[in-house]
Structure 1
Amino acid sequence: MELSTLYRERTLDRLSEDDIGKVLKVAGWVENIRDHGGVSFIDLRDMYGVLQIVMRNTDLLKGISKEDCVTITGEVEKRDEETYNPKIPTGTIELEAHSIEILGKVYKPLPFEIAASKEIREDLRLKYRYLDLRNRKVLDNMIFRSEVIAFLRQKMTEMGFMEMQTPILCASSPEGARDYIVPSRHYKGKFYALPQAPQQYKQLLMVSGIDKYFQIAPCFRDEDARADRSPGEFYQLDFEMSFATQEDVFRVGEEVLTATFEKFAPKGFQVTQAPYPVISYKQAMLEFGSDKPDLRNPLRIIDLSEFFDRCTFKPFQNKTVRAIKIHGHQSKGFHEKMLKFATGIGMGGLGYLEVQEDLSYKGPIDKFIPDDMKVELREKAGLEAEDTIFFIADKEERAAGYAGQIRNELGARLDLYEKNAYRFCFVNDFPMFELDEETKKIGFTHNPFSMPQGGLDALLNKDPLEILAYQYDIVCNGVELSSGAVRNHSIDIMVKAFEIAGYDEEVLKQKFGALYQAFQFGAPPHAGMAPGVDRMIMLLRNEENIREIIAFPMSGTAQDLMCGAPNEVTEQQLREVHIKVRA
């Protein structure tokens, strides 16, 4: 595409030795200035590259400061060989400036050095994010993000999915995280909500007869920030399929994620190939102590509750006891550090035994295990000479969580994690309902629109806490990338499921009226999922904080430090939407 040459004739990445002797116009920002007396140099930077500018007429440098936006006309020259810069593509050429025009002047001191912006405190980076984005390392993350999203769109289209957009202003729902609500000017006392996900709309698209839909969907949840969760908003690759089973969704998820990670993973990284391992929620909580298992860690957790109920060690009796075996004996200092870690996460202690050469045990709880049970322990835990086994005991839910954290810590301290790999798995068979410990009422565990395993019969005849849902997550390296489900498409099942969770049919009609009506007009079976784009890119770029891969992220306290959001509005604006702020 031909563009105006008022400011530049080439971007800096399109200059090469083939241009030597040509007079060209270039534009960008002054990255560095070096004044060597009779000759001066500028490193000129645009989005695409860096070029050295030489000024033998040093008067041209007058009034120029770092980060000025300039346009320069000059002749392309070959650099002296001893001044080659192999770090940049234009390192063998330079442009002798004939004229310089300042397009955008820097009027005040820079708040930080652009090249070092990643090393300064985050609040300053976010306040001047437009300067931070000039840093090549920060910009590269944004370019990378654009390329990944373009590839996802291309891949989904190739797989027969149609991209559609769903509303940003929608109705508030009683499930999930806190909504962001938007007051209505026309309807006094009523509010829109920003979508936590396009959940109802994509299901309604399936009822509409759309066969396979996707979008790069913005989602809004009033949640606190974490390293892997941006407060306020995030993006997901949202897709849904009609006449689809759980396995159909798995195949799509595997194809698009494997293709994306193989294309964009750092060189030398391995990516799980389809079919991904499928791990039930129950198995995940037992073997990994988490519903987000990191398969790069080879350690597994076993259950020894029944075994210790028959032992004389009272602290382990009538409790859930989980154990983790490692090979090798560790130093006293290692055990002290592991005990400190265990008490730091809330555990009362961390028992262990070491297996000796003669297969006897050495450790704090050896004397509490009857001799006739020691062989049984060895067989149950698969113990061999030189092994060490750690024990975690507590109530079931806490024991599982503690064991998962001990597993992760052991894997890290012993350097057991597989290097340079993206290891995917599905976690499925989540409980449909859970009991709220405070209210003692039954509620939905995850997505209320999921199909219960066993359908209406299960809802009518089974203990709700024993009902499993056709819900599933995709996990990569211990990070939840995606959640999804086979959706409920039956009005009878929908009414009964919500009734169990404490919502009568009138509430269902009021809060989910569109789905309630649509399911009475021939709804097809449908299923889908939504891999998180931000987390995907965070993993691929090996960034520890999700804000590094978002152009204009909020701070950890959910503030836009650059534009000043949230901010106050005028009394007139409040009146227009019928709002009065309480003191």
Structure 2
Amino acid sequence: MYRTHTCGELRLTDVKTTVTLAGWVQTVRKFGSITFVDLRDRYGITQLLFSEALNGELDANPLGREFVLQVNGSVNERSSKNANIPTGDIEINVVSFKILNKSAVPPFSIQDDTDGGDELRMKYRFLDLRRNIVKKNLELRYAVGRSARNYLHENNFLDIETPFLIKSTPEGARDFVVPSRMNSGQFYALPQSPQTFKQLLMVSGYDRYYQIVKCFRDEDLRADRQPEFTQIDCEMCFVEQEDILQTFEGLVKRIFKDVKNIDYSETIQRMTWEEAMWNYGNDKPDIRFDIAICNLKFPSHTFPTKENQSALIDGASFGVFDDAETVVAIAIPGCSEYTRKQTDELTEWVKRPQIGMKGLVFIKCNADGTFKSSVDKFYNEEKLKAIATAANAKAGDLILILAGAEERTRKAISDLRMYMADKLGLRKPTDFKLLWVLDFPLFEYDEEGNRWVARHHPFTSPKPTQIAEMINNNPVIENAAEYLKHPYANIKANAYDMVLNGNEIGGGSIRIFQRELQEKMFAALGMDAAEQQHKFGFLLGAFEYGAPPHGGIAFGFDRLCSILGGSESIRDFIAFPKNNSGRDVMIDAPSTIDAKQFEELQIKLDLKA
């Protein structure tokens, strides 16, 4: 027996017990004739005491960091206790020990405040995984998965596996493709999601399906993206949108309770996509803090039901506003005392290439009720007060205004809103706020191709009241300049996203289940009948055999874990992640294959390339 106990379980109640422990040497500390060793395993750390009687044996077999060690001894009460660890009241008086394996000197320290950089730790990820902070992240990941499985099982969902080797149907991100040795010149694709398979399971009568499943997308990477990622993938039939929202609110609230011991009892707010874009500038707003956008000027087609407030800024001969497509403002609480240096720093921030604005206008709402701005030359106090009222600014607030092209300016004000919230400490990682965003546009217009593209995916149904409008109209855009007048421009998707702290953690929709409507959707995306049959004939055929109404959702498992763990990067919650170039630097993948493999796959290798 290598061990009778783990390094994290012994307590004062175990004093005088004879035990055997095994683990890794964390530290070695010599004090004269005695030696203290911290022994670590997955469960914790236990202090070992090597008395003078073992000195000779230790000299002959010196211990080093990360040596694998087995010890026998008795549990004693520590004279100098350590309140920072659960085993801090005891130590093991070692009687005998055995070095099970030696270790080379680690390239970085195996502790929470390690001296290893990201690339070094990724190269030696098997060592990085020994660190307590990484272990806690993986334990949280396991807890989230276990909670989700328990909830879904209790609600009659079946965990059903779907294939990893499927057909390539590139519509969104690029597929990873796999050559078939037995079918020369043909390729499988790795799934970007199990979308069509879970719909087929609904056709087959498995009315509640789920998978915690790997998905693959060959796309550019950033902190919250990996080429392979995990989804909590779910589908239900005989449901409407409200059924989906209620079911999966329950799932997320259960995860909060099981993993964070948080009773998320408040009603989850809902807003339409248009409201999100109007009030926050993006479709996944962080609503932990109450800073909303004031829309002073915008193109009439962007929000056709909203009223422009351009009268507040017109007539001043201020070209920056007059020539802008969009003018938007936010009121930042308690910042009216910002110095010139601070407002200049904000101006430089919005002028960065990542934000792309030409400048920034500010209005200070002074505590005494007066106003001071960077555009006093153009706007008198009465005008400034009117703008402040529209922006819901109070005495002591600072109004920040951006102007320019619609899409860029709206994104910029959204980014500025988040930046200021970070500066003011309004986005605490221990606070959680959930939101449903609903009623997205079903289509976006592709100027280059002069056709529609699906905003969500091509299996999303329009709102029930707009199904007839979609079927009865020709999707072809005859006049590119007037695409906004096409009936499809106003069709809303029966879709929904769940947002947590400004991050989309889940998205789904009620699906199309009628062949005629699905063919219309494919036609709108530029697929003729032959292409539809080639790519999706199996699904269209299935819809002729009693397909039920159905819908579902997929949660970004890695992203959900990172938010619950207080991290901005999903890599911290994946055992063996890729770096920002999509490489696994530990095993050096991707890598070349040898000539024989190329020959077996009947792929010609261009040695000149």
Q: TM-score, normalised by structure 1?
A: 0.92
Task: Report what 1:484 is aligned to.
Answer: 508
Instruction: Answer yes or no: is the 8 Å Cα contact 1:164–1:215 preserved in 2.
Output: yes
Residue of structure 1 in register with 2:131 after alignment: 135
% identical equivalent positions: 37
Q: C-alpha distance in 1, partners of 2:364/2:155?
A: 54
* Inter-partner Cα distance in structure 2 for 1:271 and 1:425: 16
Separation of aligned partners in 2, 1:119 and 1:261: 33
- Whole-angstrom distance in 2 between the partners of 1:14 and 1:371: 69
* 1:227-261 CA distance string (max 9 Å, x none): 222x2111111111101111111111211112212
Q: Report if the CA contact (8 A) 1:239-1:529 is conserved.
A: yes
Calculate the aligned-residue CA RMSD, in Å. 2.3
Residues in 1 aligned to 2:550 and 2:364: alpha-carbon distance in whole angstroms? 52
Is 1:573 aligned to residue 570 of structure 2? no
1:287-328 C-alpha deviation (Å, 9 max, x unpaired): 111111000121000211143364333322362221212344
What is the match of residue 450 of structure 1?
460
**Counterparts of 1:378 and 1:17, CA distance in 2:** 64
Q: Which residue of 2 aligns with 1:122?
A: 118
Amino acid at match of 2:219: E
Partner residue, 2:15: 20
- The C-alpha deviation readout for 1:301-358, integer Å capped at 9, x for no partner, is 0211143364333322362221212344232223212211121221111123334678
For the pair 1:254 / 2:249, whether they are aligned, the reply is: yes
For residues 54-73 of structure 1, the C-alpha deviation after alignment (integer angstroms, 9 at most, x for no partner) is 22211332323221112222
Matches of 1:377 and 1:19 in 2, distance apart?
71
Pairing 1:304–2:296 present: yes
Counterpart of 1:474 in structure 2 is 498
Q: 1:292 touches 1:475 (CA, 8 Å); kept in 2?
A: yes
What CA distance in whole angstroms lies between the structure 1 residues aligned with 2:111 and 2:520?
59
User: Would the aligned equivalents of 2:147 and 2:254 in 1 still touch at CA under 8 Å?
Assistant: no
Q: Which moved more, 1:458-467 or 1:199-208?
A: 458-467
5 Å-filtered alignment, 1:432-581, equals: 432-453=442-463, 454-461=466-473, 463-581=487-605
Q: How many angstroms does 1:86 deviate by?
A: 2.0
SS in 2 for 1:512: helix
**Match status 1:325 vs 2:325:** no
Describe the superposition over 1:422-466 as per-residue Cα deviations: whole angstroms up to 9, x where unpaired: 011011211111122333332222211100121142343352222
Report the AA paired with residue 546 of structure 2.
Answer: G
Q: 2: distance between equivalents of 1:193 and 1:112?
A: 39
Q: Which residue of 2 aligns with 1:110?
A: 106
For residues 45-194 of structure 1, the aligned pairs below 5 Å read: 45-56=40-51, 57-61=54-58, 62-63=60-61, 64-79=63-78, 81=79, 83-106=80-103, 108-115=104-111, 118-194=114-190
Amino acid of the structure 2 residue aligned with 1:540: L
CA distance in 2, matches of 1:361, 1:522: 67
Q: What is the CA deviation profile of residues 451-490 of structure 1, one whole-angstrom value per residue up to 9, with x for unaligned ones? A: 0121142343352222111121111111110111111111
Q: Answer with 231-240 or 220-229: which moved more.
A: 220-229
- Cα–Cα, structure 1 residues 117 and 421, in superposed 2: closer, same or farther, change >3 Å? closer
In 2, are the aligned partners of 1:117 and 1:132 still within 8 Å (CA)?
A: no
Structure-1 separation of matches of 2:591 and 2:224: 26
Specify the SS of the correspondent of 1:523: coil
- Are 2:312 and 1:336 aligned? no
Gaps of 5+ in 1: none
Q: Is the 8 A contact 1:271 1:423 kept in 2?
A: no
One-letter code aligned to 1:161: F
Q: Is the 8 A contact 1:255 1:274 kept in 2?
A: no
Aligned AA for 2:5? R
Among 276, 281, 285, the residue aligned to 1:289: 281
Q: Is the 8 A contact 2:34 2:50 kept in 1?
A: yes
For the residues of structure 2 that align with 1:485 and 1:45, how far apart are their CA atoms?
Answer: 47
CA–CA distance in 1 between the matches of 2:368 and 2:110?
63
Given that 1:456 and 1:493 are in contact with CA atoms closer than 8 Å, whether structure 2 keeps it comes out as no
Counterpart residue number, 2:303: none
Alignment-derived partner of residue 202 in structure 1: 198
Structure 1 CA distance, aligned partners of 2:368 and 2:114? 55
Query: Any idea what SS the aligned residue of 2:342 has?
Result: helix
- TM (norm. structure 2) is 0.89
Superposition deviation, residue 216 in structure 1: 0.6
**Which residue of 319, 325, 334 corresponds with 1:314?**
319
In 1, are the aligned partners of 2:232 and 2:556 still within 8 Å (CA)? Answer: yes
Change (3 A) 1:154 1:569: same
Instruction: Work out the CA distance in 2 between the residues paired with 1:371 and 1:19.
Output: 76
1:405 paired to 2:412: no
Deviations 1:106-155 (A, max 9, x none): 2x322122125644111111111111111111111112211221111111
Q: In the superposition, relative to structure 1, how do residues 282 and 235 fare at CA in structure 2: closer, same or farther (>3 Å)?
A: same
Q: Single out whichever of 354-363 and 565-574 deviates more from structure 2.
A: 354-363
How far apart are the structure 1 equivalents of 2:383 and 2:458? Answer: 46
Q: Decide whether aligned partners of structure 1 residues 376 and 363 sit closer, same or farther in structure 2, where only a CA change above 3 A counts.
A: closer
3-state SS of paired residue (1:316): helix
Instruction: Give 1:434's aligned amino acid.
Output: E
